[in-house]
Amino acid sequence: MDKHDSFYHNTKSLLVLFQIMGVMPIHRNPPVRGKPRTGYSWTSRQVMWAVFIYSCQTTVVVLVLRERVKKFITSPDKRFDDAIYNVIFISLLFTNFLLPVASWRHGHQVAIFKNMWTNYQYKFFKTTGSPIVFPNLYPLTYGLCFFSWFLSIAINLSQYFLQPDFRLWYTFAYYPIIAMLNCFCSLWYINCNAFGTASRALSDALQATIRGEKPAQKLTEYRHLWVDLSHMMQQLGRAYSNMYGMYCLVIFFTSIIATYGSISDILDHGATYKEVGLFVIVFYCMCLLYIICNEAHYASQKVGLDFSTKLLNINLTAVDTATQKEVDMLLVAINKNPPIMNLDGYANINRELITTNISFMATYLVVLLQFKITEQRRLQTNSH
């Protein structure tokens, strides 16, 4: 089975990076009959390593959090805008404390998802006689691993140079947090592209089978393969529901606060390097949200709409009755099991989520700016 598990071998670098960072300590079991290849255990050495790394990271985070809170409390200038600015970086630190609950607790579900990929590829090979080929996935995954950390370093150093009170040693608390967000974005991108590749391979095999003689029996197996692919997409959202739920909340909250902080400071004393740093944060967060929602949209479209469109284009008059019935049953299966990327019932991940977030952000920004304008008018009245 291992030699057909090309998805694992191509994406192993990201799995190892997650283990090194202590984010998702799943492990690979030995090839024993009846035992799943990917497992998760609270007593495994991967979990012990994750606890050690998390303890070290939390120590740095606590020191930075304590320093930032202390500096804010003792600061003589306690304007609302400065409070908003400090909330951005303090809230990012709190994502570290949610890691065991949001990620480790769902380790068994992640292992199930990984095993579904392993079993699906083997089943696909047995059914079609050819493996699923993921072109350029290996270098892409390696590149995303390095890029995730490079981007984290670049963003944190930009804040050090652009924010007046952002000390260099603060960055060591934010490096792994931002890198973790980047890695989860990479994980989502890779899986969504892999779903599209698997769907395209399945549709190509189906069309080749249709052109053969009496393809009805094979179409039954293809229907099961498609249903498995749809369930695998749902399992992705179920396995990482808490992590990506926290992910979306952090993006939403940080984007609102950073946008307000930059606009507010520009209204007060014009544009400075500080506002540039805040706009960098906003741009970064919105890019993450766009990538996640856009890739989920394309994955759902390729597995659902594009696959069913190819089925509808089949000339049913040229095949026998049994084949016509199987095509109809496959279309019914697609209708009954829509390939929707869902975070375990909390939210559907698609392009609509982008517009929803932007509309909510605009609403909250208007409210915050109304407070700001009211405060400015009150100060002007008192000065007169």
Q: Spell out the long-range contacts of 373-380 with Cβ–Cβ below 8 A and sequence spacing 24 or more.
A: 375/80, 376/267
Give the pLDDT confidence score for residue 252 in this predicted structure: 86
**How far from 131 is each of 7, 61, 179, 336, CA to CA, in Å?**
11, 45, 33, 27
Who contacts 287 (Cβ-Cβ below 8 Å, separation ≥6)?
A: none
State if pTM tops 0.75. yes
SS3 at position 240: coil
Give the pLDDT confidence score for residue 50 in this predicted structure: 95
Q: Spell out the long-range contacts of 149-152 with Cβ–Cβ below 8 A and sequence spacing 24 or more.
A: 149/175, 149/179, 149/182, 151/178, 151/179, 151/182, 152/176, 152/178, 152/179, 152/182
Examine the pLDDT at 126 and tell me if it is beyond 80: yes
Give the pLDDT confidence score for residue 378 in this predicted structure: 75
Examine the pLDDT at 172 and tell me if it is beyond 90: yes
Examine the pLDDT at 1 and tell me if it is beyond 90: no
In this prediction, residues 145-153 reach a mean pLDDT of 95
Task: Answer with the residue of higher pLDDT: 316 or 48.
Answer: 48
Q: How many CA atoms lie within 13 A of 9 on its CB side?
A: 12
Torsions phi, psi for 272 (to 5 deg) = -135, 180
For residue 248, the one-letter residue type is: C
In this prediction, residues 161-183 reach a mean pLDDT of 90
SS3 at position 342: strand
pLDDT digits (tens, 9 = 90+) for 43-100: 999 999 999 999 999 999 999 999 888 877 776 665 655 666 678 888 888 889 988 8
Task: Answer with the residue of higher pLDDT: 362 or 274.
Answer: 362
Task: Give percent above pLDDT 90 in the chain.
Answer: 42
**Residue in the structure block whose two tokens are 């495994």:** 44
Q: In the structure encoding, which two tokens stand for residue 234, read together?
A: 């749902």
In this prediction, residues 167-177 reach a mean pLDDT of 92
In this prediction, residues 129-135 reach a mean pLDDT of 90
CB count, 10 Å around CB of 19?
A: 19
Torsion angle in degrees (nearest 10) through CA of 89, 110, 137, 134: -150
Give the pLDDT confidence score for residue 384 in this predicted structure: 58
Give the pLDDT confidence score for residue 237 in this predicted structure: 87
Interatomic CA distance for residues 173 and 372, integer angstroms: 31
In this prediction, residues 258-267 reach a mean pLDDT of 79
Task: Give percent above pLDDT 70 in the chain.
Answer: 95
CB count, 10 Å around CB of 332?
A: 11
